[in-house]
A and B are shown apart, each in its own frame.
Chain A
């Protein structure tokens, strides 16, 4: 399934079939950084679509004509709603047709607006259904809960008009003055649609995508998934290999002793306390807002957003989302560096700790931390 095909425009292509969907789902769980929802149902949708319509071609953005039209899409809403009310499937194609109609262009390719969590795999289902290629790029390469928290905002590309669609056939276009307003209004529409909705950004040219988006996100996710699979299979040194590939660190090994969840208007906020497995005087506290945002040991922040803080099952290496965290679980906490665009002053200003109301200055996690 993972085969190099001659590229349409001289660029190597890959095919995404059932095996790749499985690996992407694993990688997407980790890149969700605790949020983004369990990719399980998105993989069911993607698998069904690929089974019905054949595998999806993965292209790099410069493999398309520069003026080709690309739609970034996925879902927004509370993961707790999505696992309780899985989608119909039609809202995903409805929403792409919605932005297409509005812009008066024909879509040449789709791409994930977020690689991480459920959003990674939904565009595969859409690409298969519509017979389009998938671009190997995204706008976050980790999960963020808010629409404006994307590289689009950093580079000054507008999300207006963003389209939202629900399972009942409703499609809403939101024209907004800036991306912050787009988020606020889209969120209100999402709540009115029942707490989750399909979302598509206005079409961009392949040139803009190749100039500004985070390139290679889908294949990065796939490679991460391949390395998690090795950890799950018990391959010696597999965790080290995963950390080496991502440039990550093992922060802590312990047992979950408290999970406090509070749900605000649309986001799940919580605090998770993990006791060290051997030294019970040590605890790690995670602050979460849909995603794991901060990790404190003894009051000292040891990892911060926008870097990824990921909790994985100690024994199996399977990533655990914040909703799945529960008392007594034995876990490893990993820190992974975010995409380079986020580790800039502008990136930190948009998605650093202060953007989430924590009065802390971003510092990259220390390498060779002691776990």
Chain B
């Protein structure tokens, strides 16, 4: 038996699935400022419906960290040490970042002499004094450090030494994210990911710590996992150190949950929440991944993420006329919907009220005539046009596709949309994210420097694939369902017959537990 939890901007959901991945208990509670209370509420409710001692695993998925980046909320100021001068000086750190994000996430940076050429020759000796001076001078203003280094993925020595120096000068307890531990090729992308990761550490501690305390408070001894961007599981303590690897988990879980609930492998997925709507694509039961360099909060990284369009429209979106113009969102009452929406006795007109007045939702009580029929009609027309436009952008052909509507406010999706063969609303769709977390897969990976000089590449790669599969099976995946998720090769020496960093990732659904 497994528990899946999803912390959204508006609600915290919990579900319990049995060994056949059937949903046996469901709860939806408002998200609280300290995520702990919301999680505990949701957990207590689902656990009252099953035998708590049968729970073996608990999986958390959340959009909290992604939203922290998008909304520039709760980000820690990070001090960056880039090792590589005199190379790289033409591209300052955080170049082309949105100004407001740079202002919040980057306390300061230094580019010091050091780093390596492709063949391992130092560009310059590491300027240890410069690292010490910078770390001491910025320690009071920075909550965490990030370190990037030219060719650091192949030659980590300078980055590791700089991390030691930073701890000496800024305190042993200071958090240090070393870029090559999270990202791969491309100094700038890796450095961006490291800064964002360091900036999220205390938010991650709040969310993940809250999750672990809530489990303990409920007397659960289940293993705690977080779902990653690619929908596979990561242990909670590792996730707390590398939160950037989990920022895409919310959409991934909702798309996987939509697949599980609908049984449809290829479809549009529209997840309507309180503040935003995500539109993604199910391809063969998994989220279609974005092929381009993925931007997180407006910043280039080299992660692979679900291809997604997010629009700032949800059940809590405020509907207003200003200067004769109709505005839907982007402002939202969020989790205060149950107090502030007209249909719940509040005084704010939200998209939920429009849905109620237009007959799409049955919620609360709304005086007939509280909203002008012209307002209702034009707001719904606008909503449908926005959905249609973005669904069309998501599709890869003009052939009609089914649409799986999930999320707490998904009744706002109309029954018919051009280019959509049918709108599927499955039971429990309102907790699709938590279900996606509960059915997340175990994974295994291979990540080593290999050489093709003495053995054919095909043999080396196929052995790496087997090892990755073996590790996924040991992590709990069912052997016959494990597949290869990604194969990445990065040349290391750039020399004839030289080495290559080979990364293979395998993943598969958890084998049914005895």
Interface range for B: 35 or more
Q: Are A84 and B292 in contact (CB under 8 A)?
A: no
A349 to chain B, nearest CB (A): 27
Q: Are A168 and B86 in contact (CB under 8 A)?
A: yes
Looking at chain B's contact residues, the main secondary structure is loop
Q: Are A80 and B115 in contact (CB under 8 A)?
A: no
Contact (A84, B300) CB under 8 Å given A167-B87, A234-B393, A313-B291: no
Chain B contacts of A318 at CB under 8 A? 291-292
Chain A contacts of B488 at CB under 8 A? 326
Q: Are A86 and B87 in contact (CB under 8 A)?
A: yes
User: Quick one: CB contact mask for A40-51 with B, threshold 8 Å, 1 for yes?
Assistant: 110011011000
Alpha-carbon separation in the docked complex, A78 to B495 (Å): 11
Alpha-carbon separation in the docked complex, A171 to B258 (Å): 60
A192 to chain B, nearest CB (A): 10
Chain A contacts of B393 at CB under 8 A? 234
Alpha-carbon separation in the docked complex, A320 to B96 (Å): 20
Chain B, Cβ-Cβ closest to A256: B291
Q: Which of B115, B151, B394, B496 contacts A265 (CB 8 A)?
A: B496
B205 within 8 A of partner (CB): no
Count of A interface residues, CB-CB < 8 Å? 46
Alpha-carbon separation in the docked complex, A88 to B394 (Å): 39
User: Quick one: CB contact mask for A317-350 with B, threshold 8 Å, 1 for yes?
Assistant: 0101001101111110000000000000000000
Q: Are B89 and A167 in contact (CB under 8 A)?
A: yes
B384 within 8 A of partner (CB): no
Q: Are B90 and A194 in contact (CB under 8 A)?
A: no
User: Quick one: CB contact mask for B110-144 with A, threshold 8 Å, 1 for yes?
Assistant: 00000101110101000000000000000000000
Chain B, Cβ-Cβ closest to A316: B292
Q: Are A85 and B489 in contact (CB under 8 A)?
A: no
Q: Are A315 and B396 in contact (CB under 8 A)?
A: yes
Contact (A41, B118) CB under 8 Å given A259-B487, A315-B396, A318-B292: no
Chain B contacts of A264 at CB under 8 A? 496
Q: Are B487 and A86 in contact (CB under 8 A)?
A: no
- Interface stretch of the complex, out of B23-31, B180-188, B333-341, B411-419: B180-188
A103 within 8 A of partner (CB): no
Chain A contacts of B74 at CB under 8 A? none
Chain A contacts of B186 at CB under 8 A? 83-84
Chain B contacts of A282 at CB under 8 A? none
A369 within 8 A of partner (CB): no
B residues 166-201 near A (Cβ < 8 Å) are 185-188
Q: Are B491 and A88 in contact (CB under 8 A)?
A: no
Q: Which of B91, B96, B486 contacts A328 (CB 8 A)?
A: B486
Q: Are A330 and B396 in contact (CB under 8 A)?
A: yes
A54 within 8 A of partner (CB): no
Alpha-carbon separation in the docked complex, A261 to B491 (Å): 8
Contact (A87, B90) CB under 8 Å given A234-B392, A328-B486: yes
Chain B contacts of A44 at CB under 8 A? 90-91, 95-96
Chain B contacts of A88 at CB under 8 A? 86-90
B residues 357-398 near A (Cβ < 8 Å) are 392-394, 396
A239 within 8 A of partner (CB): no
Q: Are B185 and A329 in contact (CB under 8 A)?
A: no
A176 within 8 A of partner (CB): no
A residues 71-98 near B (Cβ < 8 Å) are 78, 80-81, 83-90
B498 within 8 A of partner (CB): yes
B84 within 8 A of partner (CB): yes
B66 within 8 A of partner (CB): no
A289 to chain B, nearest CB (A): 14
Q: Which of B91, B288, B394, B493 contacts A41 (CB 8 A)?
A: B91
A161 within 8 A of partner (CB): no
Q: Are A48 and B292 in contact (CB under 8 A)?
A: no
Q: Which of A78, A81, A85, A327 contacts B88 (CB 8 A)?
A: A85
Chain B, Cβ-Cβ closest to A266: B494
Q: Which of A40, A78, A89, A234 contacts B89 (CB 8 A)?
A: A89
Q: Are A330 and B291 in contact (CB under 8 A)?
A: yes
A184 within 8 A of partner (CB): no
B residues 456-514 near A (Cβ < 8 Å) are 457, 484, 486-491, 493-496, 498, 500
Measuring CB to CB, which residues of chain B are less than 8 angstroms from any residue of chain A? 84, 86-91, 95-96, 115, 117-119, 121, 123, 150-151, 185-188, 288-289, 291-293, 300, 304, 307, 392-394, 396, 452, 457, 484, 486-491, 493-496, 498, 500
- A-B contact list, 5 entries, CB within 8 Å: A41-B90, A81-B118, A84-B151, A85-B87, A86-B88
Instruction: List the 5 closest pairs (A to B, CB-CB), nearest first.
Output: A89-B90, A263-B491, A194-B117, A329-B291, A313-B291
Known pairs A45-B90, A85-B87, A88-B90 / 16 extra A-B pairs, C-beta < 8 Å: A44-B95, A80-B494, A84-B186, A85-B115, A86-B90, A87-B87, A168-B86, A234-B393, A261-B491, A262-B452, A263-B491, A315-B394, A318-B291, A324-B293, A326-B304, A327-B486
